[in-house]
Copies of this chain bind each other. A is one copy, B any other.
């Protein structure tokens, strides 16, 4: 049945149960045909036509993404992130004017993800081509993230590039007493000068 099929498709999406799926399908049913077609084709076209930037592997409509192609950006700094959501998160802060490098994940032997499955070689190539002063590692603060950081650090051993990691510490607005010990400890060790 057509409705059932649409409901099934909706309920495959993360966080969407049968009841919500039914509500969404019935909502679409009440819309104009052109509206529903716009919805359906937006999803299909997204998947069929999406490209990944050949420089930084970020999602892109073109060969080279808008960030890499932007002459206003500082192309001597690369921020290494796990995925495109992280690019969006960093972009959202409006605090970074450099370029990105999307790894596509972190090294995780448990999930069978090795260095070869990630865009690490192409990062090394980018840096080897010169012109890069700093590589900022902005991976998750997990064992897998730390492992990946270390792997990249070893790769850059003999290269003339500044390698930094983003600061870890207490979130803005958080209270000390509720912060976990590791984070609090790190934020004490990595204290910065009060200006």
Question: Which residues in A have some Cβ–Cβ distance to B below 8 Å?
Answer: 1-3, 5-6, 8-9, 12-16, 20, 22-29, 31, 33, 36-50, 59, 61, 84-85, 88
Q: Are A26 and B61 in contact (CB under 8 A)?
A: no
Residue of A8, A16, A29, A42 ringed by the most chain B CB atoms within 10 A: A42
| Closest Cβ neighbor of A88 among chain B residues | B22
> Cα distance A45–B2 when bound, in Å?
7
Q: Which residues of B contact A50 (CB under 8 A)?
A: 2-3, 29
> Cα distance A144–B85 when bound, in Å?
47
Q: Which residues of B contact A20 (CB under 8 A)?
A: 15
Copies of this protein in the assembly total 2
Q: Are A41 and B44 in contact (CB under 8 A)?
A: yes
Give A116 Cβ to nearest chain B Cβ, in Å: 20
Q: Which residues of B contact A33 (CB under 8 A)?
A: 47-48
Q: Are B47 and A27 in contact (CB under 8 A)?
A: no
Q: Are A36 and B46 in contact (CB under 8 A)?
A: yes
Q: Which residues of B contact A25 (CB under 8 A)?
A: 43, 46
Give A84 Cβ to nearest chain B Cβ, in Å: 7
A43-B85 contact, Cβ under 8 Å, with A3-B50, A20-B15: no
Contacts beyond the supplied A25-B46, A40-B43: 9 A-B pairs with Cβ under 8 Å: A2-B61, A8-B42, A15-B23, A22-B85, A28-B43, A28-B46, A36-B43, A37-B47, A37-B48
> Cα distance A79–B29 when bound, in Å?
23
Give A87 Cβ to nearest chain B Cβ, in Å: 11
Q: Which residues of B contact A36 (CB under 8 A)?
A: 43-44, 46-48
Q: Are B1 and A61 in contact (CB under 8 A)?
A: yes
9 A-B pairs within 8 Å (CB atoms) are namely: A2-B42, A2-B49, A2-B50, A5-B45, A6-B43, A9-B39, A12-B39, A14-B23, A37-B44
